[in-house]
Structure 1
């Protein structure tokens, strides 16, 4: 039980660190918001020779082009949608439909470095925005669809099918747009998670090597700690006659400080102390940060540690939710749901 809990807690903590780094990366670079608006640009304005796709086509684009390349998000505006919706653009060189859509939804926005921060667009709000765009053609949905077809918007094909299914009923059309957009957001979320898995895989390698976490060595250290605690308990129950045996185990040191020091450094603390940078908390004085670069590099370059690193890396790929569920099952903690 000690071995199982020790391994689960270690993998849970490291998995949380991987998830935290990924969330930091996503929030700082606004990946979710850029992903959404890249999709909206492709869906509303289309893709052509002069306007390549905004959505990333490969993992490399997600890691490099999307975070650091051209920003698909419109510039933030704190003004409400104009009372006069105007007209749809007559040609592809006119105003972007995506910008017109942003005018209808920017009431739920707040600025983030001058760009929109919207990363989740509710299907109901999108459907209402489409109806407001249709109002630019006096609420004539067929005329609205003809205008979309004329400017080459891919949205035309999707809305045309929804309009034909609604059989001319505006309320059914609005609900159909909600259902269609909700399905598109689910598909986009699946695509986003597929890319995020690659990011988590890269972060898993970084965390494993940064902490030089050898899963097999950690399990062995856990077993040694358990054996030492059992021997201390046995000595305490045996009385003064076993005191000399404990002294010999502490290599001639005074047993009480020796036992106190060893028990205050459980296996997880010992393993974390072998990271590239570690924090030590002495019995007296302030905590100190120290570099362990020579020892860390020696562990990384030793082939006998590589199977343990591989074990830790594979464990991190399961994710923090998996290890939390395992921890909850072992300890008997019940979910409130």
Structure 2
């Protein structure tokens, strides 16, 4: 009896794991195609180094809706890509009279563009190590003959938001260059952690939308799938009983295989897992015949009947909530049930 529940749990976990992997793959695909990580980083850097845009406000929108509309499609905060190496002579911030809205971000990109490659004419850098950012700041300060006081004065003159944090770090370091560099590195590392938490919060909304779409497109009723698993287990038990008890137990299979060759019916049923039968009820399904090429089937009518039937909604809700846990959670559950050990 215990094996029945193990089979049920394992079947549900595998189904949720596969669908969660699909959601994760779709999310990663959108992130890569739209360069969301890179845009997120450079929007933050523009706000931090050059300040908000006078017309469009902050480069990193505060509202979730604006992040998903403005950042991927309407505004691209990334600098233009350049194949040139960083210039040997480091220029400091321009004066207030020559200040442009992206002066500091251009200077920063000059110091880190050696690790860059083009993506639609823009930078693809999505991560700047804190130590590299600290070195870039020191290089910019070196453009003022190594005088950090003059560098900070220029940041203040152009009204850069970077002035406040660097001024505090400089005073805390007691005007020691090595301690100043370490302070900048620690500060930027904390900012990147905060930015990562903000990014994950926005990604959760994307995952929630994708999980809903996958649940509905596959019309995956978790409760119905669990019931199908139990029926399959009972059917296998019936087939075993026939093999052990002989022809007298054969009547138990007639109801399921009425009008068909019993042996062929048993073979097809046992060779088609419950998960495959559930996925056949998706909006578009693929069937592989014994001979010939795979067939792609449009199941619009059947799919709409399932979606519009209230009795399936609790099962859809179960699947949707399960997908929100994510593929790492279901992989861990699968590993615990099967006894697999993670590699270290």
Q: TM-score range by the shorter chain?
A: over 0.9
8 A Cα contact 2:53 2:59, kept in partner: no
Cα shift at 1:113: 1.0
Q: CA RMSD in A?
A: 1.3
Q: Which residue of 2 aligns with 1:45?
A: 50
Q: Which residue of 2 aligns with 1:72?
A: 77
Deviations 1:15-67 (A, max 9, x none): 11111100000000000000000000000001253462100211111211111
- Quickly say closer, same or farther: Cα 1:303–1:249, change in 2 above 3 A: closer
Residue segments in structure 2 that go unaligned for 5+ positions in a row = 1-5
Cα shift at 1:284: 1.7
Residue segments in structure 1 that go unaligned for 5+ positions in a row = none
In structure 2, C-alpha distance between the alignment counterparts of 1:285 and 1:93, rounded to whole Å: 65
Cα shift at 1:238: 1.7
Which aligned pairs between 1:300-315 and structure 2 lie closer than 5 A? Answer: 300-315=307-322
In structure 1, C-alpha distance between the alignment counterparts of 2:311 and 2:91, rounded to whole Å: 70
8 A Cα contact 1:247 1:253, kept in partner: no
Cα shift at 1:255: 1.7
In structure 2, C-alpha distance between the alignment counterparts of 1:273 and 1:252, rounded to whole Å: 23
8 A Cα contact 1:33 1:120, kept in partner: yes
Deviations 1:239-287 (A, max 9, x none): 3443454345411422211111111211100110000000001122211
Deviations 1:92-136 (A, max 9, x none): 337610011000000011111110000011111101100111011
Structure 1 range deviating more: 97-106 or 280-289: 280-289
Which aligned pairs between 1:1-337 and structure 2 lie closer than 5 A? Answer: 1-47=6-52, 49-50=54-55, 52-91=57-96, 92-93=99-100, 96-243=103-250, 245-337=252-344
8 A Cα contact 2:91 2:107, kept in partner: no
In structure 2, the residue corresponding to 1:290 is in which secondary structure?
A: strand
In structure 1, C-alpha distance between the alignment counterparts of 2:8 and 2:144, rounded to whole Å: 69
8 A Cα contact 1:145 1:156, kept in partner: yes
In structure 1, the residue corresponding to 2:92 is in which secondary structure?
A: coil
In structure 1, the residue corresponding to 2:69 is in which secondary structure?
A: helix
In structure 2, the residue corresponding to 1:137 is in which secondary structure?
A: coil
